[in-house]
Structures are given as C-alpha cells and as structure tokens.
A and B are shown apart, each in its own frame.
Chain A
Amino acid sequence: MSDAFDKKFRERLSEENFPFDPDAWKKMEKKLDALDNDTNRKPFWWWLAPLVLILLGTGAFIWLRNSTTTTTSPVVETAKTTEQASTTSPADSALTSKEKGVAPNDDNSPVTPPVAKTPSTSAAATTGVPKQNNNVTTTDAPANKNKQNNQNAGKGFSADRLVNKPGTKNTSPVTDPSQQPSPAGITGTDVSNTSKPVDNTSGSEENEVLRLLNTHYFTNPAVSDKLNRSGHLPIKEITEKTEKKKNTVPNRKGFSVGLMLGPVFNVAPSLEYGKFGLDGGLLVNYNLNNRWSFTTGAIYSDKPYGGTRKDYGVVKTWSYPMNTVKRIDANCKVLDVPININYTFMDRPKYNLTATVGLSSYFMLREKYTYKIDYMPDWEKSLSNENQHYLSVLNLAFTYQLPLNSHMSLGIQPFAKIPLGDIGYGQVKLYSTGVAVQLNFNQFRRRQ
C-alpha cells in the first residue's frame, strides 16, 4: 500500500545526522549583518516621517485652500458663432476683397473668424454691439511686444487692423471700432487652458486669421515668426504679457547660495538660564523644482546658555563636591552643518512659503563651562574640538521668502532646533530657536 511506503519514506528521510557546517554559519552571519544595517537606519526615519507628514499636511492644506486664487493660464472667450454669422457675412466679402491671398472663407457663414478683443478696443466696440459683449474677456498668450506697444498707444494702427481684419465690414485700415456694424471684432476664440482650440470650426477660422495676419506682417519677421509658431491668435496675449511677466513665478531649479544671520535663543530643558546668541553662515540650496529643494551649508553659531545640575548629563559622572553644582553656564562656539529638505507649499510671484525639516550636525569648536558651586569659587573648563554630533539635531523651520529681483531673494525664517542626543561635554539637550534673515542668490529664470 502506498501509505506504508509514504510512512516509511518519511521516517527514513527524516533521520538527520548532519554535522554542523561553520561555513554555513559564516554565510548566515553575513546575511544577518546586512539585515542589521538596514534595520538600524530605520528608527531614524521612523522619527522623521510623521513630522514630515505633518508639515506637508499643513502645507498641503493651506495650499489647497488657496488654490482657487492661483493665477490661471490665459483663457480666450468662446465665440458665439451663431450670433456672429448673421452680422458678419457681409463682412466676408469686404474682407476678401481687402486682404490679399485670403482664401474664400467657405465656412465663414456659420462661424465668425474669431478675433481676440483688445482691452482698449473692447470698450469701444462694446457700445456698438451689446449682444456680443457677453463673450468677451481678455485673453493672454505670449505675443509680440511691438503689438503690445501699438495697442498701448491707443487705437494704434496694428490694434485696429487686428480688430478690423476678420469679418469686419469696414475696409479702411484704421477705423474707429465703435463704428463697426459687426461685432466680429469683439469675439474671441476659446482657447482652452492647454492652448488648443476647442472648437474645430473656430480653429480653422483662427488659422485663416493667422494667415491673414501673416501676410500683412510678412515684412516684420519677428511678428510673422510669432504668428507662425503660435497655434492660435496671439492678439490679446500681447497686452497681458508685460503685466504677466511680473506675475509669473520663477522656474526654480538648480543651485543657489545664501547668507543667513539671526538671533537665536538657546535653552536647556529646565528652561532656566536660557540665553541669546547669534547664528550666521553660508547656505547652499539645490532646487529640484519649484516645490522641493535641499539645503546644506555651514553656520557659525555662538551659543551661550545655562543650565541646572539636572540639565547637564555629565554631572552624573562627578563626585562630591562637584556634583553639588547648582548652575553651569556655558559658552560654546559651534559649527552647525545642516542637511534640510524644503517644501514650498505656497508659491506666489511676490512671495513663497516653505516648510523645512532636516538634521544638523554640531561640531563643537570651543566649549567653555563655568560651574557655580556653593561656597567655592567658580570653576571653569574649556575644550576645543572635542565633540562632534553628527546629524544629532532636528531642524524645523518655516521660511517666508520675497524675491528682490530676478536673482535675489530675501528670506525670513523662524526655526527650531531640537536635539536628538546630548550636546557637548556637558551632555545637555540643548534647544535653540530663533529667526534668521537670509539673502539668497540664484540663477533661476522666470517662466516665459
């Protein structure tokens, strides 16, 4: 029977008489070592993760609340084509006769060639045809500055030409738009945020207009180039450009350098005897994009502080009478090397807000302690370069940054430094908080 066979097999093959192989254990140890290295790093990040999440969470929350007020990309109004059709068909013939090289607009009847209305002309035209006004809004897009200047000059030549061109009855080069019988000059094409013509018919109309414009501006290569390149009418875009330029947020990617200086309050856990010091130094920043960046640097920190006996861990190692010390004053010169991650949760052209989290290494360049013991003269101890605390201080900060010009910005950064271990010979959990003023220099380009 199979069962007997199975049973016997199991018995026989379960006899174990394997001598222990030390090589096998060596291999095992290697695996265990590799595992230990991985797990040892974990506690660190477990610590930071919730903090980072909280910071990001608050940042995201604020950002989401403000997202409706973010500047949106330019939108051109949809042409109410049917309304246009009736009033502009006569204009077509005028248009055709006036403009050279324009193909007969076969599809002109149902759809008016869309023209973005300029602000200067819109008001005038509005009075002429109230119906079409509903659709009119300002439009933006990159465009020729020349045009913009022309339009800013009022009813300049180009402006009127642009307005008059498609679907207008008036054939004169410069006309008062208010006299336009057709409201065609007022309509615009709907260009979605992605800069694509939404309506197929209006798209073809646009191309038509573009060609028209091109033929007129063929002598002006800059203009015609722009016309050729843009997939939609750049008309309205012109006025907006110079205004928008100031309103865009720069493209932040790459390195920047900064100087920082600020008062710092240093205090031990007992919160007695905290003192003000000064931090100043150099920061190097690397932006991955407009949201994320890394910072490191070197900050010289003058840290005076005081503490009670309990604050100083080192007192535990002392014997009588030293361990009766009531108060210890410290004066330390520290080199603070931070490694921070920054998240810009609010990015506006005029300012941005950033949350920072990171770790600092403290290099205790000079430590001087003054022990105040009852009935004894003050006792001093000084050390130089004896203590280094790698990544032992948690940095938390918020920065409010103002661009001063295209390559410089000013930052105001309230911060807190929380010790993850004991600092210095004194073994004090030294907390620092302060406000730093930063001046940053960068090579960022403004978004076009």
Chain B
Amino acid sequence: MHELNDIIEGCRSLNRNSQELLYRQFYGYAMSIALRYAQNKEEAIEILNDGFLKIFQHISEFDTTRPFKSWLAKIVVNTAIDHLRSKKRISFTEDITQVYDLGMDDKAMDKLSYDELLLLVQSLPPAYRTVFNLYVMEGYQHQEIAEQLGISEGTSKSNLFKAKKILKEKIEKATSYNTVR
C-alpha cells in the first residue's frame, strides 16, 4: 500500500511514469470489469481508458485511507454505463414481469471456464447485462441500480430475472453439451 500511495502521489503531480505504473498495476482488474459491460475487447479498452482518464483527473480528490480498488471499480462501472448510453446500446423499457425463483444450481458453472462464462455474460442483451453486472458483480441493490440507470426498481428486478434465466439456459445448454461429448 505504501508503494501504491507513492504512485498515487506521483499521479497527483501529473508524473507520467507514476500514471503508467498505476495503469499497469490495475489494468487487469479494470479490464475484467470493463469486459463484462462491453461487447468486445476494443470497446472494453475504450471504457477502461476513459475510466482511467477520470481517475487521473480526479486523483487529487481520492481519499487514500480508502481502498483504491473499489474507487477504481466504481469509476470504471460508471464509465461503462455512460459509454453504453452514449452509444445507445442500452435502453430500458419498463418491465414488471413477475419474477420467481429460478432454482439455479451453481454446480454446472464449475465446468465452464472464465472465458466461457464471460462470453455468456457478453451475449446477454445490454440492458439485462448491465443490471446483472451491477447486481451480481458489483453488489448494488435494486434501489441503487434503479437510481443509477433511471429505471424503476421493478424494471431492475425483472431485468435481473431475465438475465439469469437466459444465463441458466445457456449454462445448461453449454454444460449438457459438454457432458454429452
């Protein structure tokens, strides 16, 4: 952490070397977030870089007593959503589909690799994908998601539900295919 604080200090002084160090250190983490929201790697890099730009711009405001990773994650997620919005990839329609317990079992997932799981998420329609990411990955509650995306809680819940439903089907399909072979 001491080292990280030095790097952050350097970034505050607009030291390019420090900025590069910070970038390299958190590239992987930021990338994993960005990829969840993006359609492909290029888009993910765009989101990642825009996120880092905001970080470098506002690094002076960062409270070093707090965990840097969560601050970074928050910024990258926000950048991703802004990005998707600006590209008009996501549009939310009010949805109050009744949600029910899908009875999803997690064992099937073990058979899939990271890349396969990521692909599954990326294959989701952007609106569902976003809500899924925010809830499952980022740990937001529906109320927070609703606020962030400008939708109702009901829509957030139903989008999540639909996302999971699709994922469940796809996982089952993928794993059954695997077992068959």
Chain A residues in 8 Å Cβ range of B19: 32
| Contact yes or no, A14 B53, CB < 8 A | no
B63 at the interface (CB under 8 A from A): no
CA distance A4 to B32 in the complex (A): 21
A42 at the interface (CB under 8 A from B): no
Query: Which one, A4, A12, A17, A25, contacts B23 given CB within 8 A?
Result: A25
> Do A17 and B106 contact each other (CB < 8 Å), given the known contacts A2-B164, A24-B49, A25-B24?
no
Q: What sequence of 0s and 1s flags, for each residue 1-21 of chain A, a beta carbon within 8 Å of any chain B beta carbon? A: 110111111101111111011
| Contact yes or no, A25 B20, CB < 8 A | yes
B83 at the interface (CB under 8 A from A): no
A28 at the interface (CB under 8 A from B): yes
Chain A residues in 8 Å Cβ range of B105: 4-5
Measured CB to CB, the closest approach of chain A to B144, in angstroms, equals 16
Query: Which one, A12, A24, A32, contacts B48 given CB within 8 A?
Result: A24
Measured CB to CB, the closest approach of chain A to B134, in angstroms, equals 12
| Contact yes or no, B109 A12, CB < 8 A | yes
> Do A18 and B27 contact each other (CB < 8 Å), given the known contacts A5-B105, A13-B36, A31-B53?
yes
Count of residues in B whose CB is under 8 Å from the partner chain = 36
B29 at the interface (CB under 8 A from A): yes
| Contact yes or no, A9 B56, CB < 8 A | no
Chain A residues in 8 Å Cβ range of B45: 21, 23-24, 27
Q: List 27 A-B contacts (CB under 8 A).
A: A1-B101, A2-B101, A2-B104, A4-B105, A5-B106, A5-B109, A6-B135, A6-B136, A7-B106, A8-B106, A9-B106, A12-B112, A12-B117, A13-B32, A13-B137, A15-B32, A16-B32, A18-B27, A18-B32, A20-B27, A24-B45, A24-B48, A27-B45, A28-B23, A31-B53, A35-B56, A35-B57
| Contact yes or no, B104 A20, CB < 8 A | no
B87 at the interface (CB under 8 A from A): no
**Which A407-437 residues have a C-beta within 8 angstroms of B?**
none
Measured CB to CB, the closest approach of chain B to A320, in angstroms, equals 37
| Contact yes or no, B48 A9, CB < 8 A | no
Q: What sequence of 0s and 1s flags, for each residue 143-183 of chain A, a beta carbon within 8 Å of any chain B beta carbon? A: 00000000000000000000000000000000000000000
- Closest residue on chain B to residue A23 by CB atoms: B45
